[in-house]
Every structure is written in C-alpha cells, then in structure tokens.
Amino acid sequence: MSASHAAPSALAPFRAPAFRNLWLTWLVANLCMWMNDVAAAWIMTSLTPSPVWVALVQSAATLPVFLLALPSGALADGIDRKKYFMLTQIWVAAVASVLAVVTWLDGLTPELLLLLIFANGIGLAMRWPVFAAILPELVSKPQLPAALALNSVAMNASRIGGPLIAGALIAIAGSVWVFALNAVLSLAAALVIARWKREHKPHPLGREPLLTSMRVGLQYIAQSGRLKAVLLRIWIFFLSSSALVALLPLVARGMQDGDAGTFTLLLAAMGSGAIASTMLLAHLRHRYTRDGLLLRAALLQAVSMLVMAQTHHLWIALPAMFLSGMTVVTTANMLTVSFQLSLPDWVRARGMSVYFMTLMGASACGAAWWGQLAAWTGLSASISVAAVTGVAAIALVIRLRPEAETLEDLSPRRLFPTPQHPAPPPSGKLWLSIEYQVDPESAAEFRELMLSQSRAARLRQGALSWELMHDISDPGRFIEVSIERSWTDHLRRFERITAADAELHERKLAFHIGSGPPCVRRYLIETRA
C-alpha cells in the first residue's frame, strides 16, 4: 500500500490540540461515571441483598439515556455545542455533590439512591450525543475511526481507573469521598470545555423546532435499512450482555472472600480487556466482515458469561472478565463506527442519540429483566440464560438480515440553487410536485426506482409524506409529490442533499425524455383559520 493511501496512524487525532483537550475531558468524565456507578452499586448491596434492587442500579443509570437522548441530540444539532457540553458536566457535578452530602448525613435509602443515580444519568443522556456530534468537527473523516478508537480507549481506561479509584476510596475513607471527588473532577472538566475556542454559527434559517427536529431524526433512521440493521444488532447484544454487568456486584460477593476489592478487580479486568481490544480492532476489521466479527464477539461473550455464572474463584473470573471486556468493546466500537459513517453531518447528533438510546435502553431493560430472573431462578441460571439466548439471537439476525457492507457518499452537495421568494409564504404546509415524462417501456423500472429509493430519500430529508402519481391516460407521465411542514423546512432540505442524493437525482433524470427539465411546482396548502 502506498504512503498516500496508508491508513492514518492510531494516534494521528492527538495532533489536533482541540481533540487532545476534549479527549482528556472525555477521559475525566468517564472516570467520574465509573466511580459513581461502582460506589452506587456497592452501596446498594449494603442497603439491600435483593438482586432486583442491585440490578436496578444499572437500569436507573442507563434509563435516562433511553428517555432523553433523542431530545438531547435534537438540541445538540441546533444550539451551541460547546455551552451544551459544559452544562452537562455542571449538572453531573451538582448531582455528585448532593450524593456526597446525603451519604455524609447517612440519609441514603434504596429509593433515594436510585433517584439520584437517575438524576446523574440525565447528565450522561445530555452529554453523549453532543460529544458524538462534536467529534467529526475535531478530526478529518479518514481519522474518524482512529478518533473513535481513542475515545474507546478513554472510556475503557476509565473502566479500569474509575473502579480502582472508587474501590480504594471506599476501603480507605468511605463512599462519600467517591462522590465528592466526582463533583470536583466534573467541575474541572467543565472548565476545560469553557476554554475550548469554538465559534458557534447560528443557522440562518433559525433553530429547527424541537419536536420537528426529533421527528426528522427518527424519520431519517426509519428510512435507512443500514441504520436499522445496526440498531437491531446493538439492541440484541447489549440486552443479553447487560446481565453480567448488572449482577456483577452480587457475583463478586458470592466469590471466595468476596468484597468491594473483588468487585473492583473484576471491573478492572473488564476494562483491561476493553483497552486490549482497541489495539486489535484495526486488524480485526480488515480480517473479518462486520457480521463475521460480531458473531465471533457474541460467541466469546457467551463463553465469558457462562464461566462467570459457574465459578467462585477469582483467578478464573479475572480472565473471563478480561475476555468480556474485549468482546463488548469490539462490538460497540465496530457498530459505532458503522453507525457514525452512515449519518450525514446535519443529523449526526440526533442519529447518535438514537444509537445511544438503543444501547442504553437495551442495557436498562436487560438489567431489570435479568435481575428479576435471578430473583426467581438464581444468579447462575439468569446469567447462563442471557449468554445462550444472546448468541442465538445474534446468529439468527445475521442469517435473516445481513448488513450491507457498502457505504453511501454522505458528503454535502449543493445540487440546486435555493429557491427565492420575494415574500416568504405565510405559515402552512407546502406541496411540492415534480413531473417526469418517461418512455412507457421504461415506466416499470422508473416506478421501482422512485418507490424504493426516491421515497426514502425525500423522507430522510424531512418531508412529512411522499407519493408517486401515475397518469392513467398517459403511461409515461409520473408526478412525484411530497408535503413539507413549512416553507422554512423546504429551504432546509436544500442544505441536506448529499452526494448519494445527487447520484440518485442523476439516475432519475436519465429516465426523463421531456423537452425540458422535469416541471417543479410549489403550492401552499390553504386551510380555514
């Protein structure tokens, strides 16, 4: 391979100062997350021995991401991302301070602990989509996989460091100091973000309404088979793998001489495996297809879970957790890259918010379900069932719905001039029609192209509806009709056109045999006030 086509260095993103600083911020933020989760999970085992309550700790931590990630992503696509990112860290610091004070006063109950964990999860729900949207601003597109891998390193280094710091503080001084340190570090991260020199440029058309922005984000994903395939895989994998993480505090207590140190070591082993996997990701991605790698990861994750379900010996459990860390991060990183690269920039934060919603929703639902199953059948049975059903479901999805390997070119294209209007129409829905004249012998092929691809493209760009009309008296005459929420939304569509959309436009034009270009008409839908 020539130097000009060589893959970017794994450390190339660090050459950008903004990426370095925000990477350190991301590392600190995830350290705080893991410190908080470890301290909260261990406190819950002291407050109640119930596996349901212990598993609900993970549910409470991840459920806010499922509930709030989409509105967070919609906001991140329309407001100053720097200020938004900084606000999330201030929120986390405030919640950590409350946790520290309540713990200091010995006022924690299982219910109050879950409530405060949920509040901390709100900060995470706000943080993840905006950081995912910021990342492509900091590095070039060829460096994006390397940047995502480095982010994975930060997250999983924190998976080691966070539990170790939390475990040491719990043993030496008590859980209250874990929460206090969390508050201090979160404030420090907010100060680093505040120093980031980023100029926010408000959109000339104004900020898209929140509900509309959320609708468009969901609609984009609903019209992308590739994105839906990734979401299905991430849901199944984390629904099953969540059993091990959710029940790990009880697994640690059940080991020989199990205590907070045992729990910390198991999490650290998992984090070590996660970091190790990042060193192999580039090699693995070149050696296997995405689905091939996913199936192998699911099999190895099932093996690690089955070992953890049966063993009471730390020396056996540590390698199993190391293997689990490798498989979880390999899967998450591979699917994250696939999802990121399948999103254009204008909808990236909203798209990634749905991704995190799916991942965290699966973790939250899985934790609650496997915790309940453990209460009915025992820890070993619950984790074993999760392992077997998880790998079976992944194999079934890969067989029935294989993921496409090719990527569309989603770089922006200015295909048409923005329509000008001396006086923008009053508020109301816009009816857009485009008339094509095609050879009747090619009508069936044109119809298939329009129904299978043009419809999806229009809806991805934000149209409320799309229809294709075929003239009964003229078999070569077709009219493409779409309805948009407003004139402003219509103008936004011209900024959302990608290279793939431009290629589709050329394919449609190749069928048109009229003397001039297809006739475009715009109508304001009149309604009674």
pLDDT single digits (tens) 480-526: 999 999 888 888 888 889 999 999 999 999 999 988 899 999 998 88
DSSP state string for 413-467: ---SPPP--SSPPPSS-EEEEEEEEB-GGGHHHHHHHIIIIIHHHHHHTT-SEEE
Check whether residue 466 and residue 381 sit in a common domain: no
Whether residue 409 lies inside any domain: the answer is no
Mean pLDDT of the chain: 86
Check whether residue 159 and residue 230 sit in a common domain: yes
pLDDT value at residue 189:
84
pLDDT value at residue 108:
86
Whether residue 155 lies inside any domain: the answer is yes
> Interhelix angle for 144-172 vs 110-138, to 10°?
150
pLDDT value at residue 4:
42
pLDDT value at residue 65:
76
**Considering only CA atoms, which of 18, 276, 29 is closest in space to residue 147?**
18
Whether residue 179 lies inside any domain: the answer is yes
pLDDT bin (cut points 50, 70, 90) of residue 203 is low
Q: Is 389 exposed, middle or buried (0-12, 13-18, 19+ CB in 10 A)?
A: middle
Check whether residue 386 and residue 461 sit in a common domain: no
297-301 LR contacts (CB < 8 Å, sep 24+)? 297/237, 297/327, 297/330, 297/331, 297/334, 298/237, 298/327, 298/331, 298/390, 298/391, 298/394, 298/395, 299/391, 300/326, 300/327, 301/237, 301/240, 301/241, 301/327, 301/328, 301/331, 301/387, 301/390, 301/391
Check whether residue 436 and residue 306 sit in a common domain: no
160 pLDDT above the threshold of 80 = no
pLDDT single digits (tens) 244-294: 988 998 898 888 887 778 888 898 898 888 878 877 877 887 888 889 999
Stated pTM of the model: 0.79
pLDDT bin (cut points 50, 70, 90) of residue 31 is confident
CATH of the domain at 479: 3.30.70.100
**Considering only CA atoms, which of 496, 480, 149 is closest in space to residue 332?**
149
Check whether residue 177 and residue 243 sit in a common domain: yes
pLDDT value at residue 8:
53
66 pLDDT above the threshold of 80 = no
**Considering only CA atoms, which of 249, 240, 234, 239 is closest in space to residue 55?**
249
- Determine the average pLDDT of the residues in 66-73: 80
**Considering only CA atoms, which of 77, 367, 326 is closest in space to residue 244?**
367
341 pLDDT above the threshold of 70 = yes
DSSP state at residue 412: B
**What percent of the chain stands above pLDDT 70?**
94
- Determine the average pLDDT of the residues in 426-448: 92
pLDDT value at residue 1:
39
116 pLDDT above the threshold of 60 = yes
The C-alpha atoms of residue 431 and residue 416 are separated, in whole angstroms, by 18
CATH of the domain at 333: 1.20.1250.20
Q: Is 188 exposed, middle or buried (0-12, 13-18, 19+ CB in 10 A)?
A: middle
Check whether residue 302 and residue 385 sit in a common domain: yes
Whether residue 11 lies inside any domain: the answer is no
Domain range for 503 is 430-524
Check whether residue 369 and residue 326 sit in a common domain: yes
Whether residue 464 lies inside any domain: the answer is yes
Check whether residue 23 and residue 129 sit in a common domain: yes
> Number of structural domains, the chain?
2
Check whether residue 394 and residue 477 sit in a common domain: no
